[in-house]
């Protein structure tokens, strides 16, 4: 019986998986070459962590091993240090062991290059180096210069029979996340002869196919909405997709009755545990990268709701976060923007930063206050709750925001207020058994909060006020969000530096959306210390 595997390369014989034949064939063709008599290509195989780079190239390796025209060696560099001599000697030892030949342990770059000549090799060699960017930039630079020199020399000898070529290094695959691409090398990438092979996430059809395979093999049905929601939350990231598959199908606490279908209630439980309780190496790696400076400030900027940020691959901050699976890119009407890779990752980061900055929020209110206008055992008034938050923020901002991260102009990031409001709502609602859940339907530019209290669901969308034009757009957007939630009324909260009474009367007006029928109630929350 197969199972889902979320750590390391999958075993096709025992794990549910996606064949990814197109990628495998592409890798095979690249390394052998369109015309094998002219040699293969030297390629980089890249993508965010846990997208399946190693597994795809493992399949390529096995198919190459069945081709008698070539020798093929795959070397994993994960345990190699940062010393050049030790690195090349480790590679040499692995090649010698795999090919059952004797090779001298070179100590310099010239000697290492000579090992790929007919003096030492009997037939064309295809070399696959995994975890390549585990090496230091200096070691990477020296190694790829060797490969580049060999590639250029081969190109200059295409007029000769292959047996007269100086080198027998037929193809090279460097598997890594980012440094192999040379983006941090101030002198430019020394490996500018390579072709790039990107490993993408799984498609929705591929994810559905895996779970259909599970249903057919086990006989246990899965509600279609479960798989749709799983794909929505993970966007097909292989490691996360299979982790949720593992939790839903294998863990007895979530799949107690295997003779019954897996339904949305089970997914909701798994999702809550995955968000708040269960460890995951992929997520821990993402958080470890996201909390580092200066990357942290870029992510804070991404949580703002007034404008999207452009995606620039050659920006070192963007590149680092993109290739570590922390951010992604979207094409919006011909413009490339930054976005978070999937809702689940964005929620985990939102929860992490909220708790890191505002684990302690102080006293929320006077315990003798009358809350009947805001919350009772059976009702909740979101507008009045936001007004109470505004009072709380004004009374506590001096100590609460004293040490929070700030932009270059010393203004507080908009994200800080989102984190603080979220933690405030969590603490406030706890006493009434209420719950609040963040939602990020677009990956950027929109932060929605779902509040559940006394068996009812309330929607709250939060934005920063910028212009009258954006205000009107936000009203329509909030109405559509309310419609998607199935509610007739939604609150739209605006953070604003200051607002006078005249503008409150002008803008805090109930809006009835004609196309959806949803009522939108705007509420302004003052976050600045100055008066309008």
**CATH code at position 159:** 3.40.50.300
Residue 198's SS3 state is strand
Q: Domain for residue 167, yes or no?
A: yes
Same domain, 387 and 518: yes
Same domain, 391 and 441: yes
Q: Domain for residue 6, yes or no?
A: no
Which residues span the domain enclosing 387?
Answer: 349-526
Same domain, 159 and 259: no
The pair of structure tokens assigned to 120 is 């030492």
Q: What is the pLDDT of residue 8?
A: 74
Q: What is the pLDDT of residue 194?
A: 58
Q: What is the pLDDT of residue 530?
A: 52
Q: What is the pLDDT of residue 182?
A: 46
Q: Domain for residue 12, yes or no?
A: no
Same domain, 267 and 125: no
CB distance 371 to 379 below 8 Å: no
CB distance 34 to 310 below 8 Å: no
Q: What is the pLDDT of residue 295?
A: 94
Residue 211's SS3 state is helix
**How far apart are alpha carbons 340 and 234 in whole angstroms?**
11
Number of domains in the chain: 3
Same domain, 377 and 473: yes
The pair of structure tokens assigned to 38 is 């002219």
- Strand pairing class (447-453; 489-496): unpaired
Same domain, 48 and 175: yes
For 360, residues 6+ apart whose C-beta sits below 8 A from its C-beta are: none
Q: What is the pLDDT of residue 254?
A: 93
Residue 285 CB: number of other CB atoms within 10 A?
Answer: 17
Q: Domain for residue 271, yes or no?
A: yes
Q: Domain for residue 324, yes or no?
A: no
pLDDT tens series, the chain, 532 aa: 899 998 778 888 999 999 999 999 999 999 999 998 889 999 888 887 778 888 999 999 999 999 999 999 999 998 887 899 999 999 999 999 999 999 999 889 999 999 999 999 999 999 999 988 888 888 988 998 999 999 999 989 989 888 889 999 999 999 986 545 443 443 444 444 557 888 999 999 999 999 999 999 999 999 999 999 999 999 999 999 999 999 999 998 999 898 999 999 999 999 999 999 999 999 999 999 999 999 999 999 999 888 888 998 778 898 889 888 899 988 888 889 999 999 999 999 999 999 999 999 999 998 899 999 999 999 999 999 999 999 999 999 999 999 999 998 999 999 999 999 999 999 999 989 999 999 887 777 688 999 999 999 999 999 999 999 999 999 999 999 999 889 999 999 999 999 999 999 999 999 999 999 999 999 999 998 654 4
CA 517 to chain centre: 36
Q: What is the pLDDT of residue 532?
A: 44
Q: Domain for residue 253, yes or no?
A: yes
Q: Domain for residue 323, yes or no?
A: no
Domain edge (last residue) among 215, 245, 278: 278
Q: Domain for residue 215, yes or no?
A: yes
Domain edge (last residue) among 243, 278, 313: 278
CA distances from 498 to 466, 529, 531 (A): 12, 8, 6
Q: What is the pLDDT of residue 184?
A: 40
Same domain, 186 and 214: no
**How far apart are alpha carbons 2 and 374 in whole angstroms?**
52
CB-based burial, 390-424: b 16+ in 10 Å, e otherwise: bebbeebeeebbeebeeeeeeebbbbbbbbbbbbb
Same domain, 59 and 87: yes
Nearest CA to 86 among 126, 169, 143, 148? 143
Domain edge (last residue) among 227, 256, 278: 278
Same domain, 236 and 181: no
Q: What is the pLDDT of residue 306?
A: 80
CB distance 18 to 206 below 8 Å: yes
Same domain, 263 and 171: no
Same domain, 159 and 264: no
Same domain, 459 and 518: yes
Residue 353's SS3 state is helix
Residue 14 CB: number of other CB atoms within 10 A?
Answer: 11
């Amino acid at each position: 019986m197969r199972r889902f595997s979320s750590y390391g390369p999958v075993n096709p014989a025992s794990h549910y998986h996606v064949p990814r034949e197109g990628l495998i064939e592409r890798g095979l063709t690249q390394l052998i070459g369109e015309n094998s008599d002219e040699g293969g290509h030297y390629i980089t195989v890249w993508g965010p962590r846990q997208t399946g780079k190693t597994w795809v190239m493992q399949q390529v390796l096995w198919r190459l091993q069945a081709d008698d025209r070539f020798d093929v060696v795959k070397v994993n560099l994960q345990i190699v240090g940062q010393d050049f001599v030790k690195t090349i000697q480790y590679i040499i030892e692995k090649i010698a062991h795999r090919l059952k030949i004797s090779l001298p342990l070179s100590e310099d770059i010239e000697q290492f290059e000579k090992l790929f000549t007919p003096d030492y090799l009997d037939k064309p060699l295809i070399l696959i180096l995994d975890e390549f960017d585990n090496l230091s930039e200096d070691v990477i630079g020296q190694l790829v210069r060797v490969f580049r020199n060999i590639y250029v020399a081969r190109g200059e000898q295409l007029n000769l029979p292959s047996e007269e070529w100086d080198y027998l290094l037929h193809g090279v695959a460097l598997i890594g996340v980012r440094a192999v691409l040379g983006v941090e090398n101030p002198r430019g990438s020394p490996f500018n002869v390579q072709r790039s092979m990107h490993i993408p996430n799984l498609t929705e059809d591929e994810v559905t196919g895996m779970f259909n395979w599970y249903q057919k093999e086990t006989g246990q049905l899965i509600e279609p909405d479960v798989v749709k929601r799983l794909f929505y939350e993970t966007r097909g990231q292989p490691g996360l997709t299979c982790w949720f598959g593992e939790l839903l199908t294998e863990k007895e606490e979530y799949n107690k009755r295997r003779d019954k279908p897996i339904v949305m209630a089970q997914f909701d439980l798994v999702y809550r545990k995955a968000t708040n309780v269960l460890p995951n190496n992929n997520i821990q790696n993402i958080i470890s990268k996201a909390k580092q400076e200066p990357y942290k400030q870029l992510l804070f900027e991404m949580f703002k709701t007034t404008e999207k940020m452009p995606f620039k691959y050659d920006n070192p901050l963007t590149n680092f976060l993109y290739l570590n699976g922390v951010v992604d890119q979207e094409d919006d009407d011909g413009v490339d923007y930054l976005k978070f890779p999937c809702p689940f990752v964005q929620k985990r980061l939102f929860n992490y930063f909220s708790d890191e900055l505002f684990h302690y929020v102080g006293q929320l209110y006077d315990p003798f206050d009358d809350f009947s206008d805001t919350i009772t055992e059976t009702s909740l008034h979101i507008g009045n709750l936001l007004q109470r938050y505004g009072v709380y923020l004004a009374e506590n901002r001096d100590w609460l925001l004293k040490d929070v991260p700030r932009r270059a102009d010393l203004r507080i990031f908009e994200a800080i207020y989102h984190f603080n409001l979220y933690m405030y709502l969590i603490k406030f609602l706890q006493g009434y058994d209420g719950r609040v859940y963040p939602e990020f339907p677009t990956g950027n530019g929109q932060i929605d909060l779902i509040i559940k209290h006394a068996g009812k669901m309330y929607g709250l969308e939060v934005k920063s006020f910028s212009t009258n034009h954006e205000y009107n757009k936000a009203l329509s957007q909030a109405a559509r969000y309310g419609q998607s939630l199935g509610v007739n009324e939604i609150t739209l909260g605006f953070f604003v530096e200051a607002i006078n009474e005249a503008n409150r009367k002008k803008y805090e007006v109930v809006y009835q959306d004609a196309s959806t029928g949803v009522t939108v109630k705007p509420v302004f929350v003052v976050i600045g210390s100055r008066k309008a």
